[in-house]
Structure 1
């Protein structure tokens, strides 16, 4: 006589773990995946540049660490997207010159690190058609077993941009950075430019700080020019403030803004020098990385596999109630999440601890709110150095996609 076997809900969860749902944004789906870097191979000497390339120009490089000690079988695939980062209509054969699934075979085990990890690296062939794309990495050839996703862009420069000097009222200029520009689409036949062109503006490579579907102010159809002016102050970007930073490229001789380092723990525990709000402070000029980070190890060579992972604690001492406060930067993909939220302490301070690889990191404090950052901790100044990207998309029927026909970088207050 056969007996039925009933599995408890807990056992089912252990045997069949919940798989992540794909979102079309920069996202890490497993806690063991750390220090993701994604850049054009041509920019290997400076990985802070965004993953933006021309069709067939250069490969893209994806790098990451997995804190699991054993090598995993990971695959890479490229997905097409619309101008506003939804699922695209293109088929693999439309935009890839080879089979669109790549096994990551380039990996290395960490060397003499307190926390063992495996470092993975792969060069992905570039798509042949301009537009938005999402790179996904998954386990064992199973696309539902996701570990990370990253956005990137491929562009053909088919339009021109003329940027006017930053303008605005004296009051507006204290905190915001108005942008105004003209797009010339001479040579492109478009029946209804206002309907078929889409404009996105991004500040400092932050997908949570964009102006998407920017409405034009005026169309000069006879000259094939679209004007973009933003009379509404809320449409302008806040200048924000220069990013804070911490330097622990060396654990033997910790750098600036390290308060103390406890090497008796595993992993080591590093305390960043405490911070305070800057809303009432005058603007202070210094160079930053606009929120980026650099992996480096001044104690040993080959930082990709010798870099130590360190528990890093950030401390903010507020002078008033701020609500929910988060520590963000490129190191955590600017995510406002439970992991980046600061926790209150008995002495009135706020702290957040996260695991980071040896290096030099930019960061800032933001409060919960809309998608755009709230500067109630950092303050905002029109003098702040920022880099803006303007993306111009054209809806195309053949191929059936949103072509990225213009990509422009507009530095403000360049040093």
Structure 2
């Protein structure tokens, strides 16, 4: 509790003092949790090698680009801060010059205002390397914070920088537990390290397993079951099992003035309002394949040359027909459009007159995946309450191995593996 109210500078000073004095780092360590973005900050995107990525997992030495919009449109000044973290997202003991070549806490100078849009906004772009921040020196977990002139963080994002030191093979299996064979998918994988000996792997090697790049619900407690020469084998079932979920729903308003298969009605007030067709509970229905982009989104305006500043914003209206008792829980929108964070802006309200749950949210023009989930009173998420869970669902799984050699001071991310449940086997 003391750390939560302690000023940032004081926490950094105490951390450095602890390292210099030999005090265990965990005495001051505090895992970083996801925070909601400021209301006026929208459409945060990461790019690696000029390609958009749902969660930034970037090879060491490759460039990074971050873009976002400020719908206040007042050309405000923003700055960035980069910090290095351990596997469990507690701050690492590395000093800034050990993981960063150059400087951070620098103003973002690349911005432009929207053009020919009803919603005014300023579009900001940060690219690393740049003349101030030349490169990230080491692999591992990072957090970038964007803050304003008052040192208030308007948003932060986790990202992972990995070294291509291992080969990770990922296999998706149906659950061996008959109670979950039709609803769960288990992730099995092998880590091959031909060029580096991973000493005492049960203690020094950790892994992050994610479904659809949702880092907030990743599995992190797996240890290798077998070691065969330079190969670590993980053949877990329930321990590495994820609910299959269902294919994401979508809407596409690249033509903001036209209805389509997802948008039933258009209204123009101060800006455009797009009303989606009513959604229903899918948990009590059979699985139906529907191609999606696994929770992601793509910005596009059918009539624009530059989507960054010519794509407009619209209020998207959602409605859901649900008669299942919530038992004190709340229904939320869920997707990478806001980094999978559930807050008041994603919460659906109940309208007694229509019998529907509803909400509206501001989105930049494009193609979006979304899903409805139940947030239980204990803070856990039930992903299948509305959508259902099916072993046939197409999901993408990512495995990141980390290694801290005996005596080392930080956790290196030493590879990346990807598997898809489209290839699921028994």
TM-score (norm. length: structure 2): 0.84
Gapped runs of 5+ residues in structure 2?
Answer: 1-6, 12-29, 130-134
Structure-2 separation of matches of 1:242 and 1:80:
34
Aligned to 1:288: 292
Aligned to 1:350: 357
- Identify if the C-alpha distance between structure 1 residues 235 and 371 changes in structure 2 by more than 3 Å, giving closer, same or farther: farther
Structure-1 separation of matches of 2:384 and 2:175:
20
CA contact (8 A) 1:48 1:293 kept: no
Aligned to 1:236: 241
Structure-2 separation of matches of 1:388 and 1:60:
22
Structure-1 separation of matches of 2:86 and 2:46:
20
* Equivalent pairs, count: 387
Aligned to 1:180: 188
**Runs of 4 or more off by more than 6 Å in structure 1?**
none
Gapped runs of 5+ residues in structure 1?
Answer: 1-17
1:163 offset after TM fit, Å?
A: 3.7
Structure-2 separation of matches of 1:165 and 1:214:
16
1:260 offset after TM fit, Å?
A: 0.6
Structure-2 separation of matches of 1:313 and 1:331:
15
1:187 offset after TM fit, Å?
A: 4.5
1:165 offset after TM fit, Å?
A: 5.7
Structure-1 separation of matches of 2:66 and 2:34:
13
Task: Give the alignment partner of residue 205 of structure 1, picking from 201, 213, 221.
Answer: 213
Aligned to 1:87: 91
1:159 offset after TM fit, Å?
A: 2.6
- Identify if the C-alpha distance between structure 1 residues 187 and 351 changes in structure 2 by more than 3 Å, giving closer, same or farther: same
1:305 offset after TM fit, Å?
A: 1.3
Structure-2 separation of matches of 1:409 and 1:226:
16
1:116 offset after TM fit, Å?
A: 1.2
1:280 offset after TM fit, Å?
A: 1.5
Matched position secondary structure for 1:195: helix
CA contact (8 A) 2:197 2:230 kept: no
TM-score (norm. length: structure 1): 0.86
Structure-1 separation of matches of 2:172 and 2:143:
34
Structure-2 separation of matches of 1:23 and 1:213:
16
1:103 offset after TM fit, Å?
A: 2.1
User: Could you list the per-position Cα deviations for residues 41-80 of structure 1 after superposition, in whole angstroms to 9, with x for gaps in the alignment?
Assistant: x133xx1453222221x21111111012211111122110
Structure 1 stretch displaced more, 358-367 or 24-33: 24-33
Structure-1 separation of matches of 2:172 and 2:70:
46
Structure-1 separation of matches of 2:106 and 2:406:
29
Aligned to 2:57: 52
